[in-house]
Amino acid sequence: MLPSGNNTSPISFILLGIPGLENSQVWIAFPFCVMYIVAVVGNIIILHIIRIDRTLHEPMYLFLAMLAVTDLVLSSSTQPKMLAILWFHAHEIEYHACLIQVFFIHAFSSVESGVLMAMALDRYVAICFPLRHSSILPTSAVMKLGAAVMMRGLLWVSPFCFMISRMPFCPNKVIPQSYCEHMAVLKLLCADTRVNRGYGLFVAFSVVGFDLMVISISYVMILRAVLQLPAGDARFKAFGTCASHICVILAFYIPALFTFLTHRFGHHVPRVVHVMFANMYLLVPPMLNPIIYGVRTKQIRDRVIQGCCRKDS
């Protein structure tokens, strides 16, 4: 045990992986590995294309670049360790590494939520005020909004790790999932955690509640504008774009909210279901975002095709 002020902190924790599926964990790791590779390669390709093509230095693509960076951090903060647990039984994680993982998971989940909100605002301005888009959202405003989203995530989540580091832990150091999450670590504390839980609820509802409200209002206004378009290809294309973006938003928020609420209120939810959803919300959106926002975006798709054609020639 290592001292931390007047308290004690364990040298390490034990991550169980996926409790209840121990005999299948080796095989479950393969689809997780494939999804992680797709997420990393897809997001790196999008970042590279946006970086080298100056015609893509517009709000939509700058927000997409922010989303790609966030997805890389989110998936890489958990998946390598999870694969090591499932394949090589590397269940132990050092105490400070666990707190760092808590910080990165929650800070960049907040950032991802904020970037999705910013992208919804950008789509609202682009569709409802197309002639004023560049004046309402110039590059400077995009960068300020991105910085604000990043600072919100860092400042809101930092107290999580500070409060945990000041409290004593019980002898039990087993975390029944594949990564260190705030509520899972709180359950190992031998102290009153009501302040920690209350602050966690405040952060969750202030971040997710605000972002979902802005996203919902933006897409309601977008759909109203789309319905006023003359029937035909323009309306169909706009509906298709909105539907794909909404699918990405739901793929992030539904597993995230399920995981958050299950930790606090879902005592009767089977643990294997909870753990699988917890893994999905940090892996599926980073895999889907490059496909939906990248492949379905003509400018990025054309650059990928051009790059492939050059290699073939």
Angle 207-209-211 from CA coordinates, rounded to 5°:
65
151 versus 247: which is more confidently predicted? Answer: 151
Radius of gyration of the chain (CA): 21
Pairing of strands 174-175, 12-15: parallel
Q: What digits encode the pLDDT tens for the residues 240-282?
A: 777 778 888 888 999 888 888 887 776 788 888 888 888 888 9
Give every CB contact of residue 68 below 8 A, 6+ residues apart in sequence: 43, 44, 46, 47, 50, 289, 290
Q: Which CATH superfamily is domain 12-307 in?
A: Rhodopsin 7-helix transmembrane proteins (1.20.1070.10)
Write the CA distances from 81 to 15, 36, 98, 141, integer angstroms.
10, 12, 11, 37
- In this predicted structure, the answer to whether residue 6 has a pLDDT above a threshold of 50 is no
Indicate whether 9 pLDDT > 90.
no
C-alpha 208/C-alpha 110 separation (Å) is 8
CA distance 89 to 102: 21
Per-residue pLDDT tens digits for 43-75: 999 999 999 988 888 998 999 999 999 999 999
Average pLDDT, the chain: 88
Reported pTM: 0.91
> Does the pLDDT at position 2 exceed 60?
no
DSSP state, residue 139:
H
pLDDT in tens, 178-214: 999 999 999 999 999 999 999 998 998 899 999 999 9
